[in-house]
A and B are shown apart, each in its own frame.
Chain A
Amino acid sequence: MATFEFLLQGLLAAAQPLNLLYALIGVTLGTAVGVLPGIGPALTVALLLPVTYRLDPTGSLIMFAGIYYGGMYGGSTTSILLNTPGESSSIVTALEGNKMARAGRGGPALATAAIGSFVAGLIATLLLAFIAPYIVKLALVFGPREYFALMVLAFVTVSSAFGDSTLRGLTSLFIGLAFSVVGIDQLTGQNRLSFGIPDLLDGIEVTTMAVAMFAIGETLFIAAQGDKGPDKIEAVRGSIWMSAQDWARSWKAWLRGTLIGFPIGAMPAGGAEIGTFLSYATEKRLTKYPEEFGNGAIEGVAGPEAANNASAAGTLVPLLTLGLPTTATAAIMLAGFQQYGLQPGPLLFATNPQLVWGLIASLLIANLMLLVLNLPLVGLWVKLLTIPKPWLYAGILMFATLGTIGANPSVFELGMLLTFGLLGYVMRVFGYPIAPVVVGLILGPLAEQQLRRSLAISQGDVTTLVQSPIAAVLLVLAALALIVPLILRARGRGEVLSQMAASED
């Protein structure tokens, strides 16, 4: 039971008073920022990354864990109280949750979302702890070509398997990949695409790109839509506690949601918020109250919300064990690791087990803190929702630039922020997904290294890539993930896929 011991050690490390304080700051900030309309988990994590710059790696990652889970909770509060479809992964929650809030049952909706997230987070984090060592063992037999194949699979699923257009998904991905070759080549030390500008030698910062694309691009996009009148925020009326019937209807939905969400998040091919949709469909089929669906059925909040959190914890499996980010949020977390010179993957478990297990343990602690904090503070979060748009977005841009300036106070960096912000805006206007750019930017150099290593071993023979059975299977899966959606879309079945798109802002 080595896992159990490691986890216990991690809990002891994470339970030190200073680390508990970091976790508390993390969950509070994460929830507060995540609640703001238009800000999803990816942007929350990118905006708050600079807050952790001056801490030691352990403290910073613990705060990070809090921010990550806090951002998720915050997002569900927003979608229940403020019907903002298309905002983020919790779009399904808005379906039933907002109806419940309108019917004066906002309290129980928030409660079942919060408790369901807790249950799912707890189970999924434990599953993460117990599965991770096995995947690490498996990953140790992976050579460069297996890693390369795995990354190709991740590229395809993140960019083109879901969403409404293969073309636009792939274009986003390759824009990210093109930016990723800027700077000094890792293997030969050659300058590529830096045009003699010293600021570009280190490559393009993932956090700069993410903040620009998500925060500035989104702000410009919202501003350009003009004033469409204020959004309607549902006040939380009546009791916030769940009745016995609410409990009875919720608990199975929580468990089912967790079981659906975790494997989907944990697959290296994850990255889309399919779990929430599957969970919603499942609950709709199994419910004893089908007439309530569409009018505020509590299962329709409980299940998807649990699935959402479980798959968020699930994405940490490929991130921590393989160093493979499958969502924009995970890509930014990977950037957070890299800023301390840490590369997540099987080696990190061997060289720095305290850090990894401290992180996993602090996810458990953050989860518990959120349950305790979230419900009593609902009133405060509702107040945050009422910030008028001009001040909200002025504040978002203030913090977005603060992060970039804090990391690198240079005019050039701000210029990149502005350029990528405009790029993000144009991409939004034309319906290009944003997440593939960020994933391509961070995963590009890693994939290139693995590819060139495997080709160097085979002396340039490209067929080496399919000569290992594992790599061949992964590449076939990637090809299927590319071709099957193309056929589906050509036959007019594309709506299902575009509904499943991860519109992760």
Chain B
Amino acid sequence: MSRDNNKTSTEQRRPDRAALAIAAALAAIAAVIFLDVSRLREMAGYSQVGPATVPNWIAFALIGLAIWTVVEAFRGDFPEREKQQFGPVVWIVAGLAAQMLLLTTAGFSIATGILFALTAAGFGKRKLWITIPVGIVLCLVIWLIFAGLLQLSLPAGPLEHLFL
């Protein structure tokens, strides 16, 4: 890694912005920990060890790691990233969000069927008028197996109530 630090590339190199963002995120987590456990600090017993001790150590370590990350960001030690396509990611995240929002009202099969279809869409199968019904039927079968036979508590909606 550090072998190819020849002069020309050091001149061209700018700090790695994504790595700086990561360092900021680590510092932010540390700040949240410090803030949250500061109210616990008086609780430490006479041994000076209480519920705040370990979180504080972790937060200090995170700050140290954030500084180290900044150093690597300036030295360009972070690995090259492959180009990411964000379209598919949006499809799948939308599927997970839809499932989350629909779960309690529409029931397991409809919510998860939509997740199924949107994930497939993320991988290129965009015919939602086919994939959504297929997904819902598939999830209904799975619901019958897991909720019926294995007695997992999966939320039931209008579709599931037809079988109850």
> Per a CB cutoff under 8 Å, which of B36, B61, B68 touches A192?
B36
Is A460 part of the binding interface, using a Cβ–Cβ cutoff of 8 Å? yes
Name the CB-closest residue of B to A432: B22
Name the CB-closest residue of A to B23: A171
Q: Are A489 and B1 in contact (CB under 8 A)?
A: yes
Is A402 part of the binding interface, using a Cβ–Cβ cutoff of 8 Å? yes
> Per a CB cutoff under 8 Å, which of B3, B53, B86, B88 touches A452?
B53
> Per a CB cutoff under 8 Å, which of B88, B124, B138 touches A224?
B88
- Which residues of chain B are near A178, meaning CB under 8 Å? 29, 33, 55, 58-59, 62
> Per a CB cutoff under 8 Å, which of B65, B85, B142 touches A402?
B142
Q: Are A390 and B89 in contact (CB under 8 A)?
A: no
**Closest approach, in angstroms, between the C-beta of A485 and any C-beta of chain B?**
13
> Per a CB cutoff under 8 Å, which of A165, A181, A225, A394 touches B119?
A394
Question: Given A167-B68, A220-B89, A460-B47, are A492 and B95 neighbors across the interface (CB < 8 Å)?
Answer: no
- Which residues of chain A are near B151, meaning CB under 8 Å? 54
Is A368 part of the binding interface, using a Cβ–Cβ cutoff of 8 Å? no
Chain B 35-55 interface 0/1 with A at a Cβ cutoff of 8 Å (1 = within): 011001001011111110111
> Per a CB cutoff under 8 Å, which of A171, A195, A394 touches B69?
A171
Q: Roughly how many angstroms separate A224 CA and B123 CA in the complex, as a whole number? A: 9
Chain B 105-133 interface 0/1 with A at a Cβ cutoff of 8 Å (1 = within): 00010001001110111111100000100
Q: Are A397 and B72 in contact (CB under 8 A)?
A: no
Name the CB-closest residue of A to B82: A225
Q: Roughly how many angstroms separate A192 CA and B65 CA in the complex, as a whole number? A: 22
- Which residues of chain A are near B108, meaning CB under 8 Å? 405
Give chain A's interface residue range (CB within 8 Å of chain B). Answer: 35 or more
Is A336 part of the binding interface, using a Cβ–Cβ cutoff of 8 Å? no
Q: Are A397 and B47 in contact (CB under 8 A)?
A: no
Q: Are A174 and B152 in contact (CB under 8 A)?
A: no
Q: Roughly how many angstroms separate A415 CA and B66 CA in the complex, as a whole number? A: 27
- Which residues of chain A are near B20, meaning CB under 8 Å? none
Q: Roughly how many angstroms separate A455 CA and B101 CA in the complex, as a whole number? A: 46
Chain A 206-226 interface 0/1 with B at a Cβ cutoff of 8 Å (1 = within): 000000000010011001111
- Which residues of chain B are near A104, meaning CB under 8 Å? none
Chain A 391-415 interface 0/1 with B at a Cβ cutoff of 8 Å (1 = within): 1011101100110011001010011
Chain B 71-113 interface 0/1 with A at a Cβ cutoff of 8 Å (1 = within): 0100001110110111011011101110111011000100010
> Per a CB cutoff under 8 Å, which of B81, B95, B154 touches A397?
B95
**Closest approach, in angstroms, between the C-beta of A86 and any C-beta of chain B?**
13
- Which residues of chain B are near A458, meaning CB under 8 Å? 47
Q: Are B96 and A216 in contact (CB under 8 A)?
A: yes
Q: Are A459 and B89 in contact (CB under 8 A)?
A: no
A256-315 interface (Cβ within 8 A of B) = none
Q: Are B72 and A167 in contact (CB under 8 A)?
A: yes
Is A422 part of the binding interface, using a Cβ–Cβ cutoff of 8 Å? yes
Q: Are B1 and A188 in contact (CB under 8 A)?
A: no
Q: Are A188 and B55 in contact (CB under 8 A)?
A: no
- Which residues of chain B are near A359, meaning CB under 8 Å? none
A: residues with CB less than 8 A from B are 50-51, 53-54, 164-165, 167, 170-171, 174-175, 177-178, 181, 185, 187-188, 190, 192-193, 195, 216, 219-220, 223-227, 389-391, 393-395, 397-398, 401-402, 405-406, 409, 411, 414-415, 417-418, 421-422, 425, 429-431, 448, 451-452, 455-456, 458-460, 489-490, 492, 494
B: residues with CB less than 8 A from A are 1-3, 18-19, 22, 26, 29, 32-33, 36-37, 40, 43, 45-51, 53-55, 58-59, 61-62, 65, 68-69, 72, 77-79, 81-82, 84-86, 88-89, 91-93, 95-97, 99-101, 103-104, 108, 112, 115-117, 119-125, 131, 135, 138-139, 142, 146, 150-155
Please give me the 5 A-B residue pairs with the lowest Cβ-Cβ distance, nearest first: A223-B88, A390-B123, A406-B152, A460-B48, A390-B120
